[in-house]
Amino acid sequence: MTPTPAPCVLEHWSSSEVDPAIRLDYWRDVAHNWVDVQPLSPGEELDASWSLLRGQASFFGTKRSTAYEMRTGPQHVPPAEDMVVLSLLQAGEMRLNAAPGEHQHATAGMLGMYVPEQEGCYRWGAGARQTYLALPRRLVWDTLGHRPGNTLLLPQHCALAPMLASQLGHLALLVRRPGQLDDVEYGGVLDATRALALLMLRNLGRQGLGADLPDLNECLHAGRHAAALRFMEQQAHRHDLDAAAIARGAGCSRTRLYEAFAAQGQTVMGALRELRLQRARRGIEQSARLHVGGLAWRCGFANPSDFSKLFRARFGLSPTEWHQRLWGR
């Protein structure tokens, strides 16, 4: 039986809550205790907000702000918070001037790995929105197999980078709309995001190797499971979607994929079938008109008759009966 995730603490801050004269100091205190935030240009006011999901082994944040500059270095990082940040820039731009050869320009959609312990100067553009996951630096080092550094995580460098970016973006939406999940559900999503991040780092660290390595002490089944589910959600309409394609999408072998789903008490194709049926049910509930064949096709079922049988077995009614119950004849 899968253990219940530990609950998370969700916190929100906004510079609009304080007087403009003290907003920068407020922002330093609540959002940037690891860095040195530089003074704004004369006449400028800080407009920023930040949401933080704090778990036991990691934490997740999403923030947006007007333009400002911050500097990092070992002198700013508390010993108990020596973290590495996996950051998705959702809007705006960020320029990093760090050690020689590490100059970077991140724009919307880019995923990067950043180490606050390293010397660097980060310039956030106006309207920049950053969504990130912070992990202990020692854990990231062990997972990568080498010391982490400031780098952009491009798809050509790591097959799972787009998957993690998608997961971070989805979690940011949930965090910015409180009330959709309870504390334990937030904990489960954060755990899955953390596991997917570790899987991506491991994949990055073993570039050039043709076979799966033995699992690390940190269990990676949850990461493979999360990656596969995300891929299924994106590709569920494909009638040719099978375990081999899902494994490629999740960045692992079929054996590892089967193991990841078995650890959750599921099968790969059973999970895909459930995802498709739930999508079909939502489609029925959202439209007053029903065409069973078209609905089946859009949800990945090539045969309308098989789809109707599976739908009845799952929900107790045929698609037509479900529609009539909701919308009338």
The whole-number pLDDT of residue 4 equals 65
CB-based contact 160:199 (threshold 8 Å):
yes
Distances (CA, A) of 275 to 41, 315, 317: 51, 13, 17
Angle at 118 between CA 114 and CA 123, to 5 degrees: 60
DSSP 211: S
What tokens does 304 get?
């309308």
Distances (CA, A) of 147 to 9, 155, 175, 205: 30, 21, 31, 10
The whole-number pLDDT of residue 214 equals 39
Distances (CA, A) of 135 to 79, 138, 193, 320: 14, 9, 11, 49
Tokens 């334990």 correspond to: 184
* Domains, in order of start, for the chain: 9-155 (2.60.120.10), 271-327 (1.10.10.60)
Q: Per-10-residue mean pLDDT for the chain, 329 residues long?
A: 68 86 79 78 85 87 90 77 90 78 79 88 91 92 87 82 93 86 88 93 70 42 81 91 91 86 88 93 86 92 93 92 82
The whole-number pLDDT of residue 329 equals 55
Give the C-alpha separation, 208 to 292, whole Å.
47
The whole-number pLDDT of residue 71 equals 87
Give the C-alpha separation, 296 to 203, whole Å.
36
Burial of 46 (0-12, 13-18, 19+ CB in 10 A): buried
> What sign does the CA torsion over 251, 254, 256, 261 have?
positive
